[in-house]
Amino acid sequence: MASALLFADVADACTRLVYLGPDANVITARSMDWKSDITTNLYILPRGTERSGKAGPNSIHWTSKYGSVVATGYDVSTTDGVNEAGLNANLLWLVESEYPPFDKSSKPGLTIAAWAQYVLDNFATVDEAVEALRKEPFTVVTDNVPGENRLTTLHLSMSDATGDSAIVEYIGGKQVIHHDRKYQVMTNSPIFDEQLALNSYWKQIGGTVMLPGTNRAADRFARASFYVNAIPKDERPNRALASVFSVIRNVSVPYGLNTPEEPNISSTRWRTVFDHKRKLYFFESALTPNTFWVDLKAIDFDKETGKVKRLDLGESQDHTYSGNATSEFKDAKPFVFLGLGE
């Protein structure tokens, strides 16, 4: 079992970190590491959209309170995104995840594909989201990864413009929420409690003495935790942004990495960085030379006049955009969240 967990940890990996700077300058970054193209595109989703939990007749239903910009997985799920209020949500792999059984006759269900979207649609802050999620208004319903014979096992991180953070996991069928501004980093296996324990060991050694250098989740956690707090707390937002980009690149996995012992090791496919204060959502693909951004302040999220728009990132996200790409989005149909048994 240990070797299987280690393989899963290396095969599907991501990192998320939050920079807490001066003058309320909060920046969240994440990498998406996957063994194959995850078919990501960016969408603008207006507020006022009615959604279903896609779990059959007993699905949770809601109307989006906030508009959002999201990065999809396989164009059937929200795997990363931000809303107009400045809330950021990220889904990362966690092989130890075990969701409660879905009793179709009682609590409504929510497809795991729309878990992050539910948060972005309904809440402006981490505190609001945590208060609501503690009441467990739905059962997360998972299914196989598209095109694969294994269940989707994820945990959720959230951050907001105040610098607050929360990590939501399902361990042994029970929801576990870690809520504190100090929870700046999340990676993959082991579970978050154990990640914190491992990281305390490296804090005793000190990052200027030695840091673990492998692609394993615990090592990436230690490096990200040290560097995100060691980089300068620069009052100039673009300098702070440059520092955050350097940290998320440091914990990324080289593109196309392949070793005989681990032939299916994940590569970093793309990275996102969100400047909560300026509401700029940056995207960087491993296959293009440029970083571009989306300006949420320039988007019409209104229910009546706003439109669903899509930015086509191409195969393996190899379409090249540069600078402010907000105007490059085109009118589109909403993507359909993958539902139970679909």
Cβ–Cβ < 8 Å for 122, 116: no
Q: How many Å apart are CA 315 and CA 204, to the nearest integer?
A: 44
Cα 63–Cα 307–Cα 45 angle in degrees, nearest 5: 50
Q: Name the CA dihedral angle for 71, 32, 20, 225, rounded to a multiple of 10 degrees.
A: 160
Cβ–Cβ < 8 Å for 192, 169: yes
Give me 10's structure tokens: 């290396």
Count of CB atoms situated within 10 Å of the CB of 284: 22
Would residue 226 show up in a list of annotated catalytic residues for this protein? Answer: no
DSSP symbol at 304: T
Cα 197–Cα 267–Cα 113 angle in degrees, nearest 5: 75
| Given the residues 14, 29, 112, 338, the one annotated as active site | 14
Per the DSSP assignment, residues forming a β-bridge with 292 are 283, 323
Give me 35's structure tokens: 């063994």
Count of CB atoms situated within 10 Å of the CB of 136: 12
Residues taking part in catalysis: 14
